Structure 1
């Protein structure tokens, strides 16, 4: 799934950043990409553009699933399990948003992603450990 998102970045002309990014930065980029796609989906939903809404929510779900697949349960322990459940919930809420045109569900997932991203962004550089593989 991460490869699928890398292809999306290639199409957007930012593959060079992906190619040299640390595992820490790659996860950061996934958060940014998910938030961007949800914002575009929200605008499309409000404009009644069903096709674009569905496309963007589908891409956001793919990114959330990529974040989920990147979790290392051996290293992450309980936190990894909690994030896994939260990502699963977010994917479910995005699906509901798409099926029922629920802006509230998009807003909820946006809020959750922003909270997680804020925690991720707060990791000090010396603890970002570029040696840890992204699975």
Structure 2
């Protein structure tokens, strides 16, 4: 492993350990978006490329896992209707990515990527407003 890759991993780990809960949520959104982008890149590989299916599958499973982590950490009791609605949205996103993976269709990935980006941007704006 190149020295810079090792340093990047150390920095990333330190970032996670020192991040606020709000920053962690933002990092999770960024991770989900990064994996959806990787899946979209894999869709552009030639159909006969055996790595295509593996890359799509891996990236979408990782995106789904992050969205499931976000969903499972919602406080439905304290969050009330807002948390319940967000839980339903995450469930929909996870199901659509699952469908995209089963059918190897890019369209649902593009759809969910836009929704997650909107959530991520709203969350980032909220963090900026609260810290200002």
Bucket of the pairwise TM-score, normalised by the shorter protein: 0.7 to 0.9
Could you tell me how far apart the structure 2 residues matched to 1:78 and 1:105 are? Answer: 26
- Among 19, 31, 34, the residue aligned to 2:32: 34
**Counterpart contact for 2:22–2:127, Cα < 8 Å:** no
Show CA shifts across 1:72-92 (max 9, x none).
112211110000000000000
Unaligned runs of 5+ in 2: 1-7
Q: C-alpha displacement at 1:125, in angstroms?
A: 4.5
TM-score (norm 2): 0.83
Task: Quote the RMSD (CA, aligned, Å).
Answer: 1.7
Is 1:17 aligned to 2:15, yes or no?
yes
Could you tell me how far apart the structure 2 residues matched to 1:74 and 1:17 are? Answer: 29
Q: Which runs of 4+ in 1 moved over 6 A?
A: none
Three-state SS of the structure 2 residue aligned to 1:123 is helix
TM-score (norm 1): 0.82
User: In terms of Rg, which structure is larger?
Assistant: 2
What is the total number of aligned residue pairs between the two structures?
Answer: 118
